[in-house]
Amino acid sequence: MTARPGDRVLIAMSGGVDSSVAAALLVEQGFDVVACFMRLGSPGEAVGGTTLGHRGCCSITDAGDARRVAAILDIPFYALNFADDFEQIIKYFEDEYHAGRTPNPCVRCNDWLKFGKLHDYARSIDAQWVASGHHARIAMVDGEARLRRAADMGKDQSYVLFGAAGIPNLRERQLDSMLLPIGDMTKDAVRDKAESMNLGVHAKPDSQEICFVPDDDYAGLLERRSPSRFTEGSMVNTDGEEIARHQGHQNFTIGQRRGLGVAMGEPRYVIDKDPSTNTVTLGVLSDLDACACNARESSWHVEPSDGWTTCTAQVRAHGEAVPARVRPLPNHRIDVRFEQPQRAVAAGQAVVCYQDDLVLCGGWIDAVERAR
């Protein structure tokens, strides 16, 4: 289906410059635009027992900015209270850290809320399309919509959309009803467009990730929610010899170097965590090299082949996509092999595979094969 002027489009507005310009472009193109702000909680507000930080992308201040832009564009504006649903994101974050993994709540928020709950709401108001201000593009390839990297590679967000746009567990392809109006624009062009239209958000700073973690203190958040789950444990070397004690494996992430509380003559890094024994393993930098990873909950954007497919693979939102190959495994899993060892690949992260600038597939890493 092709979007046509007059179609009803629900635009997710965060109060930032990207979604504001996306809405403006849709209005200019003749769509019947309905603005929707997802109310997840305000800075200082308690959501599910967690006090939100001061960097949230969905606060009362942001709601006011979005409402003013909608008024300038003369489009309906609705604020939906998703605070209860947002608790699911915080709970996921908490559970992943306690399980020794490195979570990405921003990707999950896209999957479950922005292109999950919001699609449900769109259907309830007879909107054929859901749009957002993400820096990514949709390309038609052999008659099918495909997710493509943004024109501004420095701002590309296709990585965080892999689950929302793919076919996880044969679920409906949300990509077929998505619009990404600013994907062909650079960030500077987006800001220039907002300024030319006298949108007050044209100079507003980009929102920061993990809006519910004050001051980036992940362990502090977890300890406030579940203090009994933090217990003293062993910090060991690669031979399993104890070299120090720690106050909970949740205080550490794979690849961490600073704040370890040990001095061993040369730099040491967290290379493994075992939540079942509350053990943190330290090693040298090369111990972080990974040659492969397995991922669950895979989302394929094309029909997968039975064997290996050449691709590039990216394991962090702002990381580099490196030469690799990928194959499907049973139970909606994928096996990704890197052409060269990659550093600090961690369980809990997303791995997204590309062919040229098109998303091929992605999944959630739950096993990492170290290079040695």
Q: Which residues are catalytic?
A: 109, 211
Mapped onto helix, strand or coil, the DSSP state of residue 256 is coil
CA separation for the pair 9, 363 (Å, rounded): 29
Mapped onto helix, strand or coil, the DSSP state of residue 63 is helix
CA separation for the pair 356, 332 (Å, rounded): 23
Q: Which two tokens stand for residue 326?
A: 């990928």
Q: Which has the closest alpha carbon to 174: 125, 124, 110?
A: 110
Q: Which has the closest alpha carbon to 118: 158, 70, 178?
A: 178
Q: What is the DSSP string of 301-320?
A: SSPPPSS-EEEEEE-STTS-
Query: Is 175 within 8 Å of 147 (Cβ atoms)?
Result: yes
CA separation for the pair 130, 167 (Å, rounded): 17
Dihedral sign, Cα of residue 36, residue 81, residue 67, residue 74: positive
Angle at 237 between CA 221 and CA 251, to 5 degrees: 5
Mapped onto helix, strand or coil, the DSSP state of residue 97 is helix
Neighbours of 187 (CB within 10 A): 16
Query: Is 274 within 8 Å of 250 (Cβ atoms)?
Result: no
Q: Which has the closest alpha carbon to 314: 335, 347, 279, 345?
A: 345
For 7, residues 6+ apart whose C-beta sits below 8 A from its C-beta are 31, 32, 128, 129
Sheet order of strands, 279-283 included: 242-246, 233-236, 279-283, 269-274
CA separation for the pair 7, 157 (Å, rounded): 25
Task: Give how far Cα 323 sits from Cα of 259, 277, 292, Å.
Answer: 33, 35, 12
Q: Which two tokens stand for residue 262?
A: 């040990």
